[in-house]
């Protein structure tokens, strides 16, 4: 049971780090020349996770070229230990990837690669315990396609060597009320056989002042859980 919980929490780290990256990629298509984009996200499900980071173009972010992305995050999950006692798992993570983006008439495609790492601490009624840090290589590919003037199709895949994991997301949206509204589906799997599915709705790219947002709500199912549970995610990004 302990192993399943660890993998489950790792999936959330990957998913939350991915979300602002995807959102940041959508912005250049509708903004002017910017070189730096700041972002943050908050994921609330059976665990919570907060991420902040920056995306920096080695040229201009609205043109073909190299892009660097750095992020740090922290999360918390309540669980039961090996002897059934309640405990809290705290996770701290960081990633730095370098990639290249291509702009086409139909949209944007990008690929990134670089190191990732995380460390976890278990806090129970007795004493905290810090687990060994884990490191690996992350590979990230994504596509933002505007099939028509008012539609958006987005696909992403992220693989990590730390736990031989793969996370993928597919979302479609139709432009209305100054945002893309539509369904989203994501799936995660790793070498332990653990799997997780998210199915929900999203509102992407609505703005308040100079800040842009994405909100997602839906249901998630996980290995080892009999019932689906709700999830909510919020991401925000802005040029700097």
pLDDT of 170 reads 95
DSSP per residue over the chain, as a string?
-HHHHHHHHHHHHHHHHHHHHHHHHHGGGTS---SEEEEEEEEESSSEEEEEEEEEESS-TTSSEEEEEEEEEEEEEEEE-TTS-EEEEEEEEEEEEEEEEEE-SSEEEEEEEEEEEEEEEEE-SS--EEPPPEEEEEEEEEEEE-SSTTEEEEEEEEEETTTTEEEEEEEEEEEETTEEEEEEEEEEE-TT--EEEEEEEEEEEEEETTEEEEEEEEEEEETT-SS-EEEEEEEEEEE-
Residue-wise pLDDT tens for the chain (240 aa)?
333 334 444 444 343 444 444 444 444 434 445 588 899 999 887 778 899 999 998 877 778 999 999 999 998 877 766 666 778 888 888 899 999 999 999 999 999 999 998 888 888 767 788 888 889 999 999 999 998 989 999 999 998 888 788 989 999 999 988 899 999 999 988 777 778 889 999 999 888 888 999 999 999 887 767 788 899 999 999 988
């Amino acid at each position: 049971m302990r192993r399943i919980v660890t993998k489950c929490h790792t999936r959330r780290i990957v998913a939350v780090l991915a979300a602002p990256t995807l959102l940041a990629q959508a912005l250049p298509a509708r903004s002017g020349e910017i070189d730096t984009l700041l972002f943050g996200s908050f994921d609330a499900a059976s665990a919570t996770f907060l991420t902040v980071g920056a995306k920096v173009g080695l040229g201009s972010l609205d043109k073909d070229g190299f892009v660097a992305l750095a992020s740090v995050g922290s999360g918390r999950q309540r669980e039961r230990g090996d002897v059934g006692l309640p405990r809290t798992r705290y996770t701290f993570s960081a990633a730095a990837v370098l990639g290249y983006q291509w702009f086409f008439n139909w949209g944007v495609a990008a690929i990134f690669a670089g190191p990732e790492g995380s460390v976890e601490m278990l806090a129970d009624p007795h004493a905290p315990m810090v687990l060994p840090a884990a490191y690996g290589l992350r590979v990230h590919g994504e596509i933002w396609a505007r099939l028509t003037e008012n539609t958006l199709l987005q696909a992403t895949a992220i693989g990590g060597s730390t736990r031989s994991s793969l996370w993928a997301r597919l979302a479609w949206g139709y432009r209305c009320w100054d945002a893309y509204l539509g369904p989203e589906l994501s799936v995660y799997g790793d070498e332990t056989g653990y799997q997780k599915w998210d199915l929900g709705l999203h509102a992407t790219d609505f703005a308040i002042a100079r800040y842009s947002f994405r909100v997602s709500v839906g249901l998630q199912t996980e290995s080892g859980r009999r019932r689906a549970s709700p999830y909510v995610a919020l991401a925000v990004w802005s040029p700097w």
